[in-house]
Amino acid sequence: MSKPSRGLKFCPVSNDLLYPRENKELRRLEYYCKNCDYVQAAEPGETCVHVTELKHDAKEQTVVLQDVTADPTLPRTQEVTCPQCQHNEAVFFSASSEQGMTLYFNCMLCQHRWRDYV
Ligand SMILES: [Zn+2]
Ligand SMILES: [Zn+2]
């Protein structure tokens, strides 16, 4: 008998392989089925391992805005340089905070997010 592959999970409804994804709202790892709506939260022990793999920049998660580079309605600029990868195209958007309006840039290449005060 070979050892069962660690981490592989299957949907109890449709028997398909479950895929890991990060639930950004709940800030946890979960597994979902691509063929039905089944979702299963990862066990606490697994969370650190997989979240580290999925998200190298967990510290950037303070702003709750997702997938901004995939949003075609947001403006883009080539006037900035990403402080992380030196790429020169970023999506930008503003959000109000306690300090007033804050301008955020989100690198198109590495997804790094940084901000400027307006
Ligand atoms: Zn399923
Ligand atoms: Zn970058």
> Which ligand sits nearest to residue 12's alpha carbon?
1
Whether residue 48 is annotated as binding a ligand: the answer is no
Q: What is the pLDDT of residues 25-43, one digit of tens each?
A: 888 888 999 999 999 988 7
> Which ligand sits nearest to residue 40's alpha carbon?
1
pLDDT over threshold 90, residue 15: yes
CATH 2.20.25.10 residue ranges for the chain = 62-117
CA 10 to ligand 1 center in whole angstroms: 8
Whether residue 107 is annotated as binding a ligand: the answer is yes
pLDDT attached to residue 48: 44
What's the CATH code, domain 62-117? 2.20.25.10
> Which ligand sits nearest to residue 91's alpha carbon?
2
Judge contact between 50 and 20, C-beta under 8 A. Answer: yes
Nearest to 115 by CA among 87, 89, 86, 92: 92
Torsion of the alpha carbons at 82, 87, 89 and 94, rounded to the nearest 10? -10
Class of domain 18-55: mainly beta
Q: What is the pLDDT of residues 39-83, one digit of tens each?
A: 998 876 654 444 444 444 444 444 455 677 888 888 899 999 999
